[in-house]
Structure 1
């Protein structure tokens, strides 16, 4: 089967697997996984409750939050809240550079317009499927 004839689901799953592998490799020197990165990045955008951080994940990231807390990178300043510590913010900044290289590789050869269109199309497809499943 020619590449162009593969269904969109195949491409989405293949891209996700490759991103998982690349981000895991990029953050491994810090002893992290892609999930750690995703939680760190979510928290870098500001304080959040555990539900806010967990909302976008299809897996339980509770153990990741516990690990980041044990490292001293995440604190619980109030009931139901999570916040990066100073050390956590510094770790986020270090890891951000490595993840940025992965992102640049993923978009290599694409114009900013092409990348934005690809994201827009994928977002629209997600919305369509959520609506079709009665979730949107």
Structure 2
């Protein structure tokens, strides 16, 4: 049965946005030989959170899975443990410009207020589901 866009539930839209975001990020980063998870690892290394903590929602918790993300970054000289190297910082700055351009495209026509409201609603729904017992 065909369902018009107006009748599609939130779960459909969440899956579609997730799929399109993953595809878009992979295409943007592929030119630099990176995956989205590797971008996230570099970005996490520049912040206060550990790479493992930042990637936890996207990985199973298997250390080999995390190593598969970070080892190529170490081999490129961009990471040393959880720390960005000077070359890693330079790469992150160049990649950030590409990611910001993609984010602008994704949020075109969406006001800061709409974006904030959407994130707030999704956060509350997440909290509701985490606290629910089914």
Q: Which residue of 2 aligns with 1:22?
A: 24
| TM-score, normalised relative to structure 2 | 0.87
Q: Which residue of 1 aligns with 2:73?
A: 68
Bigger RCO of structures 1 and 2 (CA < 8 A, at least 6 apart): 1
Q: Which residue of 2 aligns with 1:32?
A: 34
**Equivalent residue runs for 1:1-136 within 5 Å:** 1-46=3-48, 48=50, 50-59=51-60, 60-76=65-81, 82-133=82-133
| TM-score, normalised relative to structure 1 | 0.85
CA drift of 1:41 comes to 1.0
Distance in 2 (alpha carbons) for counterparts of 1:39 and 1:90: 14
Whether the 8 Å contact between 1:36 and 1:68 is mirrored in structure 2 is yes
SS in structure 1 opposite 2:31? helix
Q: Which runs of 5+ in 1 are unaligned?
A: 77-81
54-63 vs 121-130, greater mean Cα deviation: 54-63
Distance in 2 (alpha carbons) for counterparts of 1:116 and 1:58: 26
CA drift of 1:131 comes to 1.1
Q: 1:123 to 1:74 in 2, by over 3 A?
A: same
Aligned length: 128
Q: Which runs of 5+ in 2 are unaligned?
A: none
- Following TM superposition, the consecutive aligned residue runs of length 4 or more in structure 1 with deviations greater than 6 angstroms are none
Cα RMSD (Å): 1.7
